[in-house]
Structure 1
Amino acid sequence: MMAQPSDHSRHALTPAEATAVRDAVAEAVLGTPAGLRADLEGDPDAYLRLVSASRTAAEETSRLLRESISGARAAGHSWDTLGRLLGVSRQAAQQRFSSTTVTATGRPGGPGQPSRKVIGPVTAFDEMALLADEGRRGWHVVDYGTMSHVLESSDRQWEHRRLLWSPGSAARLHLEADGWHLVRDTTFPWGYYTRQLDLPAEPV
C-alpha cells in the first residue's frame, strides 16, 4: 500500500511552479523600474534602485504571505497544517502569523453616527451568505480581519461581492464602473466590494 502524501507534499508547489514564482518576482524587480535593467550595466546608482525595488518586493511578498495565511485560516485550516507547510512548528506559525481580530472601533452609535458591529467567526465558505443577510438589514462591510468583518449600519440595503485580487483586472474595473466600492485598497486573496441599493433596510 502506498503511503499517503503529507500535508506539505500535497500542497507545496512543484519545483517548476516554485521556480516560475521566483522568476516572476525577479522579473518584476528588474523589469518594473524604468530603465533599471539597462542602467545596471554602467550606473552605480542603479544598484541602489535595485535595492529599493527588492525591498518593495520583499515587503509585498511578506504581506501576501501573511494575508494568504489569514485566508487559509478563514478556509478552516489549522495552525498545525500551516506550520507543516511553512516548515515550522504550530506554535511558531501561530506566534508569527496570527493577526489581531478587528474591532468595531468602539461605536455603538451616537448622535449622527452609524452603529458598528463585528460578525465572526466567519469562513471563506459562509461569509458571503451572512453578508447578504446583513446587507438586507442595512449593514455593510467597512473593514475586515481574519475570520471577521466590521459592519456599519444604514437605513438602506447593501450588496456585497468579492473577487480574487487583481488590481488591474477587467472584472474589477467593471465593478467599479457599475457603482461598487472596494472596501480596502490592499487586500489578498479577496477584494471585497459594497454597493448601496435604493431600498429601505429590512427590519431586524
Structure 2
Amino acid sequence: MDIPDGEFSDLIARAIARLDPTIERRLDSDPEAHLELAVLTNRTYEETGRLLRSAVTSARAAGSSWEAVGSALGMSRQAAQQRFGHVPATPSPCTAECRQLVGLTAFNEIDQLNAWGRHGWHSVGYGPMFHDVEKSSTQWEHKRAVIGSRKARDLEVKGWERIGSMWFPWTYFKRPVDLPPEPGEPA
C-alpha cells in the first residue's frame, strides 16, 4: 500500500483530532488546547509504537524472516531483531486448570484453539505465538477478527466474548457451546 505522505499525515492528524472533538475549535483561542493536543499526539506516538511491535510479532508469526521484517522497515535484519525480538510475556488470569499452547501461528492458531475448545479449554490470554487456555465444563468456539472490522463488531453484537484487549492486527473472541467437553485432549 502506497499512500502519499501528505494524505497519510492528514489521515493521522484527523484521527488524533477525533480523540477530542472539541480541540479543533479551541485551538484558535485556548492555549491549554495546544498542550492537550501535544498530550494526545504523544499518546498516539506511544500507541503506534505498541502497534508496530505487535505488527512485527504478527509478521514473524506468519513466517516472515528477520531479514524480510528489516527490509520492510528500512533497517537491517540485526537492527529489526534487536529492536523487536524481545517481547515480554504477560501472564494471563487463570482461575482453574491452565495450559499454554505454544508454537501457534497466524495460520494454525484458530484451528488449534477450536480443537482444544471441543475438549473444554478456552483462551484467557495470548501473546506472540501462544495462547493461555483454561479448562471448563463446556465446549468452546474461538474466532479472531481484524481490530475495528465489521466482523469484530458483528461478533460482539452476537454475544461473542472478547479475549483480552488485542494483538495487532487481531482481536480474539470466544463463546461457550452448550455441549459437554469431549474426553481427553486434542491429538
With the shorter chain as reference, the TM-score category is 0.7 to 0.9
Q: Does the 8 A contact of 2:99 with 2:132 survive in 1?
A: yes
Q: Does the 8 A contact of 1:101 with 1:148 survive in 2?
A: no
Report the counterpart of residue 141 of structure 2 in structure 1.
159
Q: Distance in 1 between matches of 2:163 and 2:100?
A: 15
Task: State yes or no: 1:181 paired with 2:168.
Answer: no
Q: Distance in 2 between matches of 1:15 and 1:188?
A: 20
What's the TM-score, normalizing by structure 2? 0.88
Aligned Cα root-mean-square deviation (Å): 2.1
Q: Per-residue deviation at 1:102?
A: 5.4
| Alignment equivalent of 2:75, drawn from 70, 84, 88 | 88
Q: Deviations over 1:23-75 (max 9, x none)?
A: 21111223431321222222211110110111121122111111111111111
| Alignment equivalent of 2:2, drawn from 14, 19, 23 | 14
| Alignment equivalent of 1:136, drawn from 112, 118, 130 | 118
Question: Cα 1:104–1:174, aligned 2, differ >3 Å: closer, same or farther?
Answer: closer
Q: Per-residue deviation at 1:101?
A: 4.5
What are structure 1's unaligned runs of at least 5 residues?
A: 1-12, 108-112
Question: Cα 1:160–1:40, aligned 2, differ >3 Å: closer, same or farther?
Answer: same
Q: Deviations over 1:126-166 (max 9, x none)?
A: 11111111110111111111111111111211000111110
Q: Does the 8 A contact of 2:166 with 2:172 survive in 1?
A: no
Aligned residues: 183
Report the counterpart of residue 54 of structure 2 in structure 1.
67
Percent same amino acid among aligned pairs?
A: 39
Q: Per-residue deviation at 1:177?
A: 3.2
Secondary structure of the structure 2 residue equivalent to 1:144: strand
What's the TM-score, normalizing by structure 1? 0.81
Q: Distance in 2 between matches of 1:63 and 1:137?
A: 34
Q: Does the 8 A contact of 1:25 with 1:57 survive in 2?
A: no
